[in-house]
Amino acid sequence: MSSQSSSASIAQGDTEHSDPDALPNLETLVSYLIVAKRGLSSYHYVWRANEIVTEARTALEDSVAVSSRTTFLRRGLNSQLRLLYNVRSEVAEISKRGRSDFADALKNLDAADARLRDTLDLLRETIVHASFRPKDEESRTLHDFVDERGVEELHTAMKDSIDRTNSARGELDTSNREFDDELESIRQALHRYRSATKLASSRASVSSSSPSASESDLQAVSSIPGMLQSLEEHARKMARNLESLANHFDLCVKVLKHTEGGGAAARSITGDMPTDVSGEGVLKIEETLDAPQAPISQKEYRDMLQVIVNDTPVAEDVVVEFQDRINDMESIFEQVMIQRDALLSISNATLEVHRHLSTLASTGLPRYIAQAHNFTHVWSEENDRINSGLTELSDLHALYEGFLNAYDSLILEVARRAHVRKRVEKVIQDTQHKLSQLYEEDVSAREAFRVEQGDFLPSDIWPGIGRAPMQVEFLRVSGGQLEGALGNEEDTENQDDGAGAKVPLTEDPSQGEVIPALPKDVVERAYSRVRSRTRDLVQG
């Protein structure tokens, strides 16, 4: 008991015992001992206080260790999470870029294939005019002169490239979905971590008396030492008060032993008292009933009585104080355990995130990265093949488009040759007519000369004097092959060595060169198509 309590009790004692010579009777002393016994029986509060301090100290040690571990893990988790989300972004970008490039390639491939098919359809729709072919041959289209096996082989190659790319893209999509599922598990673990951190912060702010209490787990654990200090202070005061109660009890027993008839009363009251009433087993009740008593003076006896009188009311207050302090300690200890449990929750949540990341880093992440690299490799190869296929499709389209254009040009060429043939025939006719006129004039002139001068000229003066004029005969000569021109073997065999086959002018002109007879509307349509293509080429 403190000196202030003793002073207060002394003041109360002076009031109750105004007569300093009045000594308490045995009954009063017995009541004092009962009060002292009742106060000393509250030693279990001190034991509980010692347990609370011990457990709170252990909780502090656990909290510090857990907090240190959590802080270390969290530093690593932040960098791992940044790396993880960077990898996911890169993988997503590879998938997005590959999907976009593949879509563009398919679009270009479809457009090129559509142009080629349209051209092939035009070849199927374009019938070769019968005048170009033998009379007994069935009707044929331009498509009959095309070998479409190259187109089919190209389509097969493009289909294989598309299928392989789609397969690689499907595997990448599956891998990315599994990656996202892993990330979702980590996000849920992070949500539990944030919830635990938020709960710990809110508890720290409620339990902390400081208005600047932080929401971090490190500051949460920093509040525990202050609470532990408060608990230790309570325990120390309770231990000191318990020691004072033990001294007070010893003094009451001693006074009763020196009071007539008090020994038996003291023995009956204290028979069931333990000798160790401290929390740590170091505080002993020194006064025992069986110990021999040394004689004391009257003054010593009266001084002891005065102390007992003064301290007895304070002893009752100490018991109440024990109850108040132990209640405060229980409340503080509850907050300590709340803080510790909150830190454990944060630690467990952090460990859960760390386990997810460790598992992902060791097993899933290499597979997801490898799948992205595999798709990049496959798409790089197939993209080259698709681009080569696009070039071949364009070349085939250009070839078949050129075939269509060349056929129309052939019709125009035939028309031109027929026109030239007509002009040649007209020149021949005109020339023959003029030659005939000259021949007749020459015959008439020669006959007139013979009549006028023939009788006077000897017949042997010039043997040619009586000959008729010469005549000119036209022969149609086949042109043979142009230099560098392509022809079949049959045409080559029917040609001469370059002089050309000679056909008399009076015979069938077609024996020299056969020019197909094309209707006018066929030529006009061919001319319209050629002109349209030329206009599109200029505008394009």
Output the pLDDT for position 336: 84
Q: Return the pLDDT at 184.
A: 85
Other CB atoms within 10 Å distance of the CB of residue 108: 15
Give the whole-angstrom CA distance, residue 210 versus residue 219. Answer: 11
If one counts every other C-beta atom within 10 angstroms of the C-beta of residue 450, the result is 13
What does each C-alpha distance from 277 to 51, 188, 235, 273, 363 come to in angstroms? 15, 53, 15, 9, 62
CA distances from 278 to 40, 93, 207, 442 (A): 10, 72, 31, 171
Q: Can you give the pLDDT at residue 378?
A: 93
65 within 8 A of 301, measured Cβ to Cβ: no
The beta-strand segments (E) located in 363-485 are 475-477
In contact, 289 and 263? CB cutoff 8 Å: yes
Note whether 339 and 215 are within 8 A (CB).
Answer: no
Local confidence band at 188 (pLDDT 50, 70, 90 cut-offs): confident
How far lies 34's CA from each of 26, 302, 317, 325, 535, in Å?
12, 20, 15, 23, 128
Average pLDDT over residues 444-459: 87
User: pLDDT tens, 367-379?
Assistant: 888 999 999 999 9
State percent of the chain over pLDDT 70.
79
Element (H, E) at 265: helix 262-270
Rounded CA-CA distance 457/460 in Å is 8
The Cα 305–Cα 299 span in angstroms is 10
CA atoms within 13 A on the CB side of 356: 22
Kindly tell me if the per-residue pLDDT of 74 is higher than 50: yes
pTM: 0.60
pLDDT for residue 389 is more than 60: yes
Q: Please give the structure tokens belonging to residue 132.
A: 């170009």
- Rounded mean pLDDT of 314-338? 85
Helices 26-40, 262-270: crossing angle, 10 deg rounding = 20
Residue 217: the pLDDT is 53
Structural tokens at position 169:
């893209």
Phi, psi of 117 (to 5 degrees): -65, -40
Residue 471 CA from chain centroid, whole number: 99
Q: What is the mean pLDDT of residues 257-265?
A: 68
Report the candidate in 459, 248, 88, 5 with the shortest Cα–Cα distance to residue 256: 248
15, amino acid identity: T
**Residue 277: exposure state from Cβ atoms within 10 A (0-12, 13-18, ≥19):** buried
Q: Which of 243, 238, 245 is nearest to 326 (CA)?
A: 238
Question: Which residue's structure tokens are 């976009």?
Answer: 100
Q: How far, in Å, are 19, 101, 196, 489 from residue 60 at the CA level?
A: 55, 60, 19, 108
Contact indicator for 495, 516 with CB cutoff of 8 Å: no
**pLDDT of 116-173, one tens digit each?**
999 999 999 999 988 888 888 889 999 999 888 888 999 999 999 999 999 999 999 9
**Residue 303, pLDDT above cutoff 90:** no
Q: What pLDDT is attached to residue 279?
A: 42
185: CB partners within 8 A, 6+ apart = 356
Stretch 314-328: mean pLDDT, rounded? 84
When mean pLDDT is compared over 7-16, 103-112, 202-211, the highest value belongs to 103-112
Q: Which tokens go with 391?
A: 């070039």
Q: Which helix (H) or strand (E) holds 504?
A: strand 502-504
Residue from 498, 458, 463 nearest 478 by CA = 498
Q: What is the pLDDT of residue 46?
A: 85
pLDDT at residue 59 is higher than 50: yes
Q: In 3-state terms, what secondary structure has residue 276?
A: strand
In this prediction, residue 85 carries a pLDDT of 85
Rounded to the nearest integer, the mean pLDDT of the chain is 78
Comparing 19 with 98, the larger pLDDT belongs to 98
The 3-state DSSP class for residue 36 equals helix
3-state helix, strand, coil in the chain (%, to 5): 75, 0, 20
Q: What is the pLDDT of residues 452-509, one digit of tens each?
A: 888 888 878 888 888 899 998 888 887 777 776 555 544 444 444 444 555 555 545 5
Q: Please give the average per-residue pLDDT across 25-33, as a whole number.
A: 77
pLDDT at 14: 34
- The Cβ-side half-sphere exposure at 14, using a 13 Å CA radius, reads 5
**pLDDT by residue (tens digit) across 202-242?**
665 554 443 333 344 555 556 677 887 888 888 888 888 88
3-state SS, 95-154, equals HHHHHHHHHHHHHHHHHHHHHHHHHHHHHHHCECCHHHCCCCCCCCEHHHHCCCHHHHHH
Q: Which residue has the higher pLDDT, 42 or 181?
A: 181
